[in-house]
Amino acid sequence: MCIRDRIHAYATFKEAARALNLLQTDDEWERCLQEASVYQMPAALRSLFATILLFCEPTEPFQLWLNHRDAMSEDYLHRYQTALNDPEYTATEDIYNCALLDIEDVLFKNGQSLVNHDGFVLPTTDHRNTGTHYNIKYI
């Protein structure tokens, strides 16, 4: 536990460092993803996000994901809407998990994993294959 000025206790050193403004913000990565989402396809956004995780060390990677997951998952949402013949179908955890698994694939090829970043948990089911849903626990 870290204590700043003996007034406030922080659960982690990272929280204490953030309170002391010793960590950089993720504003640059927020702007990067926001700008890219205007003209990039979701697969390119996922690749960009993986690159940010691999080489840029964002301070709050899970918050970046939460802020931009809709744009990164848009193609999967469209596939679900088409397959279900329901244009009103909205994003679900299954759709977000498809995008997360794509990001995990890129990270894995580079010797990393989403679980190495605070807040991320790997999905246990892979719904990316059209027509077939596999539980990756049994593959």
* Confidence class for position 6, pLDDT limits 50, 70, 90: low
Residue 20, domain member (yes or no): no
Q: For residue 88, report the phi and psi dihedrals to the nearest 5 degrees.
A: -90, -5
Residue 74, domain member (yes or no): yes
Q: Which is more confident, 93 or 21?
A: 93
Residue 106, domain member (yes or no): yes
Range of the domain at 110: 28-138
Other CB atoms within a 10 A radius of the CB of residue 107 amount to 21
Q: How many percent of the chain have pLDDT more than 70?
A: 87
Highest mean pLDDT among 6-15, 33-42, 119-128, 129-138: 33-42
Residue 6, domain member (yes or no): no
Residue 17, domain member (yes or no): no
Residue 123, domain member (yes or no): yes
C-alpha to C-alpha distances, 117 to 3, 67, 94, nearest whole angstrom? 24, 16, 20
Beta strands in the chain (DSSP E): 2-4, 8-10, 125-126, 134-135
Q: What is the pTM for the complete model shown?
A: 0.78
pLDDT in the model for residue 3: 52
pLDDT in the model for residue 88: 92
Indicate the number of domains in the chain: 1
Say how far apart CA 26 and CA 59 lie, in whole Å.
6
Q: For 101, what's the count of Cα atoms within 13 Å in the CB-facing half-sphere?
A: 17
pLDDT, mean of residues 23-28: 84
Q: What tokens appear for 20 in the block? A: 């002391």
